Structure 1
Amino acid sequence: MLTSPLFLPDGVELIGSESIVNPGSKAKLFTTVSIIRVTPEDSDNGNELVCGAVNSALSRPRTLSFRMNILFPPEIPTIDGYTRGQVNAGETLSLVCTSIGGNPLAALQWLKNDEVLSQEWETDVSTRTSRSSLSYPVRPEDDGVKLTCQAINQVTANPLRRVIILHVVCESQNHSLTLTGEF
């Protein structure tokens, strides 16, 4: 009686396995080694992979299973709260950086001209998102400043970035100038 293996991720039989049957330690015993190659996709994360052995001596298949943990990078982050154009000095920008997906979910950080401003973020497993908020008071000297949100996880070789460049407008103030003296 030979054992025929079954590979079932979430109940779907996979095809293309290679099986090698070797004699066992006693007569009428055999050892079957079966190999199947699976190219995982992001959507396979968390799916169950089952290997089952069936033969006529068993009343039901013997199975062994595990959950696939597929590591993959997050999407490039987005920044909400600033549209291209001008911002007034004295305003406070309320920026939100969001990165979707990834396993594990992304760690986020804010940079100002490549200097770290914040490394605080929160994750929502149900929506598969990471989110970080930044309240940024705009000063006149911030004209041309790059604010960057970076997303990274253990799969990304380099941080994924979204950059905004501030165009700061300073409101002119009416100043009066009084000259005294002889002309």
Structure 2
Amino acid sequence: MVPFVRVIDILLFMQCLLISPYKSSPQMAHEVDVTEVTAVAGLMSSLPCNTTPTVPGDKVLLVLWYKDKYGKYGKPLYSFDLRGEKDGVSLIWANEEEDRVNLNIQSEPNAVLNFLTVQDSDSGMYRCRVDFKKSPTRFKNVQLTVKVPPNEVEFMDEKGMRVQGEIGPYMVGDTLVITCDVLGGWPESSAVWYKNGENIDTSWQVITQTKSRNTLKLDGLTRGDQGSKLTCSGSNNNQTIINLSIYLSI
């Protein structure tokens, strides 16, 4: 006769197998496909997982999202469970930040894990597992890369002194030299100069991983340059930009 405690251990082990992201499946015989998603810190980001069954008319029973931690997939981050449910769904969030992440199951053919305000710490490899009533279990990996925008722009004159608001006064015929540093963020940012809204210099360079620099040189200043608006713009993505302007005094 098998001891009662031993029976409980066996049942618990079988339950772990049922929710393991490494459940045996024909798809696991080869490397799982990876989708790459790039996001900007502080904005919304979505990770897709296809829930279309291979057997016509089949239904989804379970969707699990995991995050790779040191090469291992542990407790699910989010689950959509229809096993044993007659109406509605059962959502289980295994993280304390429930108000920042949600699962959208209405965006067919995907079950989308939404980060309402994605953070740098959210970067990493995620795995989605979909169990069907008849179709084979499907696995999908999503590599999330979070870009952190730059957070500061500063100006320096030809002597290396910080300036703001206005630079000058200069004499007619003088040469203006002003440096723009775009600071913070990851990866490195651009640093582009504009004069009265017109792009005049894109020759920026990376000083450190968190500092990009563009030194603007304007020869032969004229009276027409009085009050010109010089703007330096920095960005490392196509969704956010940081600007700082200074006015030229002649």
Of residues 29, 40, 44, the one that matches 2:121 is 44
Shift of residue 42, structure 1, vs aligned partner? 4.1
What residue number does 2:231 align with? 148
What residue number does 1:17 align with? 78
What residue number does 1:3 align with? 18
What is the rounded CA distance, in whole Å, between the counterparts of 2:142 and 2:192 in structure 1?
34
What is the rounded CA distance, in whole Å, between the counterparts of 1:97 and 1:4 in structure 2?
53
What residue number does 1:74 align with? 150
RMSD: 3.8
What code does the residue aligned with 1:43 have?
D
Shift of residue 164, structure 1, vs aligned partner? 0.8
CA contact (8 A) 2:155 2:181 kept: yes
* SS of 1:107 mapped into structure 2: coil
* SS of 1:77 mapped into structure 2: strand
Q: How many residues end up aligned between the 2 structures?
A: 144
Structure having the higher Rg: 1
What is the rounded CA distance, in whole Å, between the counterparts of 1:149 and 1:116 in structure 2?
10
Shift of residue 93, structure 1, vs aligned partner? 3.0
What code does the residue aligned with 1:133 have?
T
Please, what TM-score do these two structures have when normalized by structure 2?
0.44
What residue number does 1:123 align with? 206
1:166 aligns with 2:248: yes
What code does the residue aligned with 2:246 have?
I
Shift of residue 94, structure 1, vs aligned partner? 2.5
Shift of residue 67, structure 1, vs aligned partner? 4.1
Of residues 76, 94, 110, the one that matches 2:177 is 94
The verdict on how the C-alpha distance between 1:95 and 1:16 changes in structure 2, with shifts beyond 3 A counting, is same
Structure 1 unmatched ranges of 5 or more: 23-33, 54-62, 169-183
What code does the residue aligned with 2:212 have?
S
- Identity rate of aligned residues, in percent? 20
What code does the residue aligned with 1:44 have?
S
